[in-house]
Chain A
Amino acid sequence: NAGVTQTPKFQVLKTGQSMTLQCAQDMNHEYMSWYRQDPGMGLRLIHYSVGAGITDQGEVPNGYNVSRSTTEDFPLRLLSAAPSQTSVYFCASSYRRNTEAFFGQGTRLTVV
């Protein structure tokens, strides 16, 4: 039982490049979310999903896309990376509404 797995752990991108951050969970959780963590700002919700095929925007969705084709996977796509997207990204999953969210180890992204 691996929990929530994020890949890669570190990534450096050039401005304008695109990439996908991977997130997978093996706990059969319906709810999955993506957050970014910036110093002094806590974690901010980017996108979330309440089940396969269902996604919605969080607080800071601009510049990011998501899809949820399976229960296990919830990838986050950066369409055209900008320096403002330099951050640590966390994926989380939970079994149902308002229960414990399990977080991955994070992806540290630097856009130069």
Chain B
Amino acid sequence: QQQVKQSPQSLIVQKGGISIINCAYENTAFDYFPWYQQFPGKGPALLIAIRPDVSEKKEGRFTISFNKSAKQFSLHIMDSQPGDSATYFCAASDNFNKFYFGSGTKLNVKP
């Protein structure tokens, strides 16, 4: 059973639009929620992360919204650019630093 469920599987957005990717989890012991960006042939790289004591974190065009009661969190990419085209993974980790990843969202930003 997948610990972190991610949707959608793929997403097409026009340049300048907003990309939204959603994740949900069940384990209330998770206490760190990062988002990773992966380009083809490369390893994932940290994009932005949040801890459950805040409801929102913004870094440039990237924002995480976190809803602890609903056990959901989402990534918003504002003013999406073709260079943002990549696969995005949400993740959650527990007390033992064990990371559980979502299944990934392939984002395609059309010029």
- By a beta-carbon cutoff of 8 Å, the part of chain A in contact with chain B is 4, 31, 33, 35, 40-45, 48, 50, 56, 58-59, 90, 92, 94, 97-98, 100-106
Asked whether, in the complex, the Cβ of B103 is within 8 Å of the Cβ of A41, the reply is: yes
- How many angstroms between the C-alpha atoms of A102 and B4 in the bound complex? 20
The verdict on B100 contacting chain A, using a C-beta distance below 8 Å, is yes
Contact status A98-B97, CB under 8 Å: yes
Q: List 8 A-B contacts (CB under 8 A).
A: A42-B2, A42-B89, A48-B98, A59-B100, A98-B51, A103-B43, A104-B43, A106-B42
Q: Which residues of B contact A102 (CB under 8 A)?
A: 46
Whether B99 contacts A101 by the Cβ 8 Å rule is yes
Q: Which residues of B contact A41 (CB under 8 A)?
A: 103
Please pick, from B4, B6, B91, B97, the residue contacting A31 in the complex, using a CB distance under 8 A: B97
Closest B residue to A49 by CB, please name it: B97
Cα–Cα distance between A81 and B65 once the two chains are bound (Å): 42
**Known interface pairs A101-B46, A105-B43. Does A58 touch B98 (Cβ–Cβ under 8 Å)?**
yes
Picked from A33, A50, A58, A106, the residue with its CB within 8 Å of the CB of B43 is: A106
B residues apposed to A, CB below 8 Å: 2, 4, 6, 9, 31-32, 34, 41-46, 49, 51, 89, 91, 93, 95-104
Chain A residues, Cβ within 8 Å of B41 = 105-106
Q: Closest residue of chain B to A104, judged by CB?
A: B43
Q: A103-B44, A106-B43 are in contact. Are A94 and B101 (CB under 8 A)?
A: no
Most buried by A among B9, B95, B101: B101
In the bound complex, CA of A58 to CA of B31 (Å): 18
Check A44–B101 contact: CB distance below 8 A.
Answer: yes
> In the complex, what distance in Å separates the CA atom of A35 from the CA atom of B91?
13
In Å, the complex CA distance between A63 and B2 comes to 20
Distance to closest chain A CB from B52 (angstroms): 11
Contact A100:B49 (CB < 8 A) given known A40-B103, A43-B89, A90-B43 = yes
User: Which of A4, A43, A97, A106 sits near B101, CB closer than 8 Å?
Assistant: A43
